[in-house]
Amino acid sequence: MMRMMRMKRWMEIPVYIALALLCAWCSNALAGPTRRLSWRLKEPTAVVVPNLKTSLASVSPPAPVPVSPLPSNTEASIVHPALMPMTAKIAKAVAPVSAPPPDPKTGVMARFPPLVQEAQAAISGDEAVWLYARGAIFLDARRTALYTEGHIPGAKSFSAWEDGLPEKVDQLSLFTADLKLPVVIYCSGGECHDSHLVAQKLWLAGFRNLRIYADGYPDWVGRKLAVSKGDKP
Amino acid sequence: MNWVTHPLVLRVSCWLLGAVMLFAAIPKVIDPPGFAQSVFAYGLLPMALVAPLALALPWLEMLAALGLAFGVARRSAAAIVLLLMLVFIGGLGINLAKGNPVDCGCFGASMAQKTKEQRLFDMKMAVLRDLGLALLALHTLMASKKRQE
């Protein structure tokens, strides 16, 4: 009798675990996209498809670097609208001293060439602002709730932990003409590793110029630069 | 009858433990990605195990809390809580020893920006709290056993 009781007691713990797994599966299946977690944090499935990318680029050239031609040497023409409120000191650092290069992409690639030795490299706040002014792609690796509260204007939400990241990475790789152009990823700075996780996934998808904005969004806000609110970039 | 095994003391102990566990489980059940972020920050698990743990563990906490509160398989629930507390203390202890400041994630993910020193202090407090809860779980386990005998 005692033996039976003991066996029953030992069976209770696996039952608790099985019930917990069942409840977790059900609640995760019913959760919204920002609250859903992929059971297996998998790598992106569709890696780069060169032929498809080439054909896409030839049909409608996408604009991964939406920098308009730089007509003059004035500061206002080079500074992105979102950077307007920044102080004169930062504006001076961002704006080129001499005449702008004929092709903005060339200047960006000269300063930030594709990475060979490592998958990702950290950049300072000044470098992030410089890249932003030249239309580099910015990705926000923080949670969607934080992204909605405020993000760098134009940055896409690429939350490292929420479901759907592999699909977003695949989509970005398919619609980005040149995977060697800089992509800036940021999160909350400090001990935040989410931008590194997103960068790993992007590297596996073929991106070769991944720059981690190490001080992240708090640094951007600290510089009193423009921010966007809401779920749209 | 020893006061430690007194039915009222046992009941209060179960309710207290159940309430704390329930309070801890709800934010994690609601937001698994936030908890996964915390689990990953501990740096103790391979990536493949982070998501299953972040999804299942809060529910295990919740079921154990309900088991304690309603007296369903109470001893097993107390054993689960004790085991969880020992795991949490171990995880926090290893990171404290490494000097790696992590968000405890005990009551859901914290969005607050904190300094390294603040995080390390919070971790020490969390270890003390978990020790207290482990003792409470041990008491429930032992007292339930005595009462059954």
Instruction: State what percent of residues in chain A have pLDDT above 70.
Output: 69
What's the rounded Cα separation, in Å, for the pair B53 and B47?
A: 10
Residue of B33, B55, B67 lying closest to A24 (CB–CB)? B55
With beta carbons under 8 A apart, name residues in chain A contacting B116.
191
CA angle (A159, A165, A171) in 5-degree steps? 120
A9, A39, A159 member nearest B75 (Cβ):
A9
Q: Does A160 touch chain B (CB under 8 A)?
A: yes
Burial A55-76 (b: 16+ CB within 10 A, else e): ebeeeeeeebbebeebeeeeee
* Nearest CB to A35 within list B33, B57, B116: B33
Distances in Å between the Cα of B46 and the Cα atoms of A187, B38, B50, B135 are 22, 14, 7, 30
Residue B104, pLDDT > 70, answer yes
Pairwise CB contact (< 8 Å): B113 & A218: yes
Closest approach of chain A CAs to the CA of B39, in angstroms? 11
Tokens of A123: 């950049």
CB contact under 8 A, A39 and B55: yes
Beta carbons of A36 and B32 less than 8 Å apart: yes
Superfamily of domain A31-222: Rhodanese-like domain (3.40.250.10)
- pLDDT: is B147 or B70 the higher one? B70
pLDDT tens for chain A, residues 1 to 233 = 666 666 677 789 999 999 999 999 999 999 988 888 888 765 444 444 444 344 344 434 334 444 433 333 333 334 444 454 444 444 444 444 444 445 666 688 888 888 887 888 899 999 999 999 988 999 999 999 999 999 999 999 999 888 888 889 999 988 887 888 999 999 988 778 889 999 999 998 899 999 999 999 999 999 999 999 988 88
> B100: nearest CA in chain A?
A191
Residues β-bridged to residue A137: A183
Q: Nearest CA to CA, how far is A39 from chain B (Å)?
A: 5
Q: Nearest CA to B41 among B127, B119, B117, B118?
A: B119
Judge whether A218 is closer than 8 Å to chain B, CB to CB.
Answer: yes
Residue of B nearest to A141 (CA): B37
Q: Which residues of B touch A13 (CB under 8 A)?
A: 76, 79-80
Tokens of B20: 């704390």
Q: What does A49-75 look like in DSSP terms, one character per residue?
A: -HHHHHHHHHHS---SS-PPP--SS-H
Minimal Cα–Cα distance from A70 to chain B, Å? 39
Kindly identify which residue of chain A lies nearest to residue B59, measuring between CA atoms: A20
Asked if A27's CB is within 8 angstroms of B80's CB, the reply is no
Select the residue of A21, A31, A41 nearest B56 (Cβ to Cβ). A21
| B41, B51, B73: residue with CB nearest A12 | B73
Distances (CA, A) of B41 to B35, B46, B100, B103: 10, 11, 9, 8
Is some CB atom of chain B closer than 8 A to the CB atom of A9? yes
- Residues of chain B found within 8 Å of residue A20, distances taken between Cβ atoms: 56-57, 59-60, 62-63
pLDDT tens by residue, B4-27 = 778 888 899 999 999 999 999 999
